[in-house]
Amino acid sequence: MQVDSTPDAYLDAQQARAPDQLKGWWNDLAKAYDRKLWHNVTVLLMRFAARDDSSPYLVELFENFVRPIESKLNPLRLVELARRVAREYPNPPESLSFLNSVHSRLPSPHLPPHADPKSESYDPSLSYTPPPPPASEAYALSLCNLAYALLLGGDLTGSKEKLDEAEGVLSGLDRVEGGGRVMGGFYGVSADYHKIKASYVPFYKSSLLFLACIDLETDLSTEERVTRAHDLGVAALLGDSIYNFGELLQHPILKALEGSQYEWIKDLLFVFNAGDLGKYDILQGRLAEEPILQADSDFLRQKICLMALIEAVFRRPRSQRAMSFQAIAGETKLPVEEVEHLVMKALSLGLIKGSIDQVNSLANIHWVQPRVLDADQSRALYERLSEWTDKIGGVVPTLSRGQGPLGVAA
């Protein structure tokens, strides 16, 4: 890698040999640098890094120009630029070495021993001024960059340590400057970590939080949106404590699956949400297209049965929620002897509340987990509300004739 002696010499050399489509940018950067317009320099650098044709220049640009002036730049933008530059190194170890070098030069938000009351070296007579915002945010985002590089290198333990440290820094802030970018960086790497670990529930939660921090259209390519939607769908189906798909079903990320080879996964999510065993049996044949789902087909069968139970309870008025084991067997397509275990599973997961009458083979259910409703479920709820309104309407004339609430003249 060529290293020029000063930023001025580097800029002069680049202006002289730059292709025509980049000469204007190099000239603008040189003017901003000469005038010490550091904000303008930062903006120009970030715009250049986002260009498709910037890749061959980024490593030299950072070492020859950015590094000598990095103390003048917004630290958060510096860390974002470093993340982009790290992608240009040929292998994970070199990328990690570069990111560690950048991280080592960032001001740390951790208290030095003399300023930490918990330290044996604490000395209140010595002054300490914490770094100004967004130094802490930049430090946390840099930790996330390191966590991702370690993840690519197969060091899961090291990656988790960096993520935990970043979480500690962020949780100690009253307000996160550049919140979307910083928190998006944290949740994005966290999701990647849990994906590799096949931890479906943490992956599902981290992915949804990541998507809440970004702009789907500008921050993710079409392929990335499809991959994210696919992975979220699989995690929702296989997560052992995920029985409410509402946030995912309402999220625009699912539209990415429409017209793709994974559109059936979107259909499957809605089938599970509705507890529709008939449609599940139709789609079940496609599980072979997704080996990870095929391998857990027994779990998926139990999960759809639980969703069918929830749906059956939801459809019933509160006064009719004492369900016989025979009725539950009909709703879930299970043998009667397996119904009690299913109800106990639903109770243990908090999907329903109630009790089991083993003598009379009854499940007395008085609460069901709230959930997002599709069109058919909304229509059923509307009909139940209409019936309730009619009943209330029938009571009003009685009250207006002077009858008390127990049918006794007032």
pLDDT tens readout for residues 110-140 = 877 767 777 777 777 777 677 777 899 999 9
Domain-embedded: residue 150: no
pLDDT tens digits, residue range 186-224?
999 999 999 999 999 999 999 999 999 999 999 999 999
Residue 229: Cβ-neighbour burial (10 angstroms; 0-12, 13-18, 19+): buried
Domain-embedded: residue 144: no
Domain-embedded: residue 36: yes
The angle formed by the CA atoms of residues 283, 284 and 289, to the nearest 5 degrees, is: 90
Cα 275 to Cα 352: distance, rounded to the nearest angstrom: 15
What's the structural domain count of the chain? 1
What is the structure's pLDDT at 405?
54
At position 206, the amino acid (one-letter code) is S
Domain-embedded: residue 400: no
The pTM for the full model equals: 0.86
Q: Report which of 165, 175, 180 is spatially closest to residue 80, judged by C-alpha positions.
A: 180
Domain-embedded: residue 143: no
Top pLDDT among 397 and 364 is at 364
Range with the lowest mean pLDDT among 7-11, 123-127, 176-180, 295-299? 123-127
Would you place residue 410 in the very low, low, confident or very high pLDDT band (cuts 50, 70, 90)? very low
Domain-embedded: residue 324: no
Domain span at residue 25 reads 1-73
Domain-embedded: residue 62: yes
Mean pLDDT throughout 352-363? 94
Token couple for 145 = 């960059």
pLDDT at 325 over 70: yes
Cα 59 to Cα 343: distance, rounded to the nearest angstrom: 60
- CA-based torsion, 172, 178, 182, 184: positive or negative: positive
Domain-embedded: residue 63: yes
3-state helix, strand, coil in the chain (%, to 5): 70, 5, 25
